[in-house]
Amino acid sequence: MRLLCIETSSRRGSVALAEGPRVVAARSHSEQAAHAERLRPLLDELLSEAGWSKKSLERVGVGMGPGSFTGLRVGIAFAQGIALGLEIPWVGVGSLAAMARACPPEAGPIRVALLDARRQEVFAQAFSASGAALSEAEALPRADALRLLGARFPGALFLGEVAAELGAEPAYRSESTDLPDARGVAVLAAELEPAESIPEPLYVRDSGATPQALPPSPFQD
């Protein structure tokens, strides 16, 4: 199954093509304000690199948060537009779950994914080595996050660049676990079945944002 995967919940915007869970090609950028402008060019580059046609795509996977409200809306709208234009299913996956799934199982039995939530908070969620969620995604005070999480999950491995900024130990660092990435989305999107109803973004806290209409499909001729 050929998948297109998208992640825009943080300042990094990333796109990946995968055959099942195996990533074939991936691209990213680090200009959060440019997610809307960069996604289509990144996708075009990937399709050319992989030698795939747009019509060969069979499923779209997208990170659903938590994360940047604007970033999530951009990525989800882009994913929906492609899925609607090509008449293929799409699946939403948790952005923190994608970080955790990108961490090798042998790294530790429990891993806690952290992501900067701004407002002096961090988003956090704990997972088992197999990727099963051990807690709900939540927003915690940045200054107290490690203490609170360490008490609840003793010996847990911390993921995310914010974990390194806070001096978390033990910690695991890689490009796909420092920030949510489309490569982690690909593993989960290959496993999940499309929902019967449209998945809702995982905002965790009130965004105060006004919902916007979907843009035209990027693949409409």
Task: Chunk the chain into consecutive blocks of 10 residues (it has 221) and report each block's average pLDDT, rounded to whole numbers.
Answer: 97 97 95 88 97 97 96 95 96 97 94 96 97 97 97 97 95 95 96 82 68 47 44
pLDDT value for 212: 43
Whole-number percent of the chain with pLDDT over 90: 86
pLDDT value for 200: 86
CATH class entry, domain 103-173 = alpha beta
Phi-psi region of 131 (alpha: psi -120 to 50; beta: other; left: phi over 0): left
The β-bridge relationship of strands 138-141 and 22-29 is unpaired
Is residue 61 within 8 A of residue 188, CB to CB? The reply is yes
pLDDT value for 206: 61
Q: Which ranges in the chain are annotated with CATH 3.30.420.40?
A: 2-95+179-191, 103-173
CATH topology of domain 2-95+179-191: Nucleotidyltransferase; domain 5 (3.30.420)
Instruction: Give, rounded to a whole angstrom, the gap between the first and last alpha carbons of the chain.
Output: 24
Is residue 114 within 8 A of residue 124, CB to CB? The reply is yes
Average model confidence (pLDDT) across the chain: 91
Tokens at 110, concatenated: 């429990």
Distance CA 153, CA 145 (A): 12
